[in-house]
Amino acid sequence: MNMIMLGAQGTGKGTVAGILSEKLGIPQVSTGDIFRKHIKEETELGVEANKYIKNGQLVPDDITVPMVANRLEEDDAKNGVILDGFPRTIAQAEKLDEMLAKKGNKIDMVINLTTPRDEIIERILTRRVCSNQACKATYNLVMHPPKVEGICDKCGAELVQREDDTSEEAIRRRLAIYDEQTSPLVEYYEKKGVLRTEEVSTRINRLGDDVANDIVKEIKG
């Protein structure tokens, strides 16, 4: 099964994707993780990608698309993936359709998460992630804090704040870019009949765990 997580930053896409990955047995493929790996290793693509990420801008397709295409060719993706952070534009969605069609595959489900904007900003500013790339657990200092401050519950590695999560101004720029370039994907996938929209918010007491578990139950019947 091939799935896509849609939604602005801070809506909980990573949380939902992580649960679905574990319970459905298909890998979570995050462009953010791919970028951070290349940035950490200081590859040529990583250096270029970091210039855009630091300014709260989207990484251009000529960097992003080849990286995702290579990831989809890896062995663990042969039975499907959960894409988190890709596609971000209609052009990328069309490229993805082409990639999958060549292998006789398609997108089976698109999960669109929505959250009030003020709540998103607070979530991102208080978000912490596991520094162990093999773990990738995500926490929130207010809503979902670790048992031990600064330490991942799952693997014991240090929790860190992503560089692009520290500035409210940068966060607002990212959200504006999402509104302009990525939200049209909702209509794109709605027309294909594969879109599922879920609100994730403390005001209705429905968080990412609830959404993910409901989807797993439906898929497994």
Catalytic residues: 13, 88, 127, 162, 174
Query: Which residue carries 């939200």 as its tokens?
Result: 183
How far is 7 from 172, CA to CA, in rounded Å?
A: 15
φ, ψ for residue 137, nearest 5 deg: -65, 145
Pairing of strands 127-130, 82-84: unpaired
Q: Which of 55, 174, 185 is nearest to 117 (CA)?
A: 174
φ, ψ for residue 13, nearest 5 deg: -55, -45
Cβ pair 179, 88 in contact under 8 A = no
Q: Which of 148, 168, 162, 169 is nearest to 85 (CA)?
A: 162
What secondary structure letter does DSSP report for 34?
H
Query: Helices in 60-110 by DSSP H: which ranges?
Result: 61-72, 90-101
How far is 21 from 76, CA to CA, in rounded Å?
A: 12
Q: Reduce the DSSP state of residue 176 to 3 states and report it.
A: helix
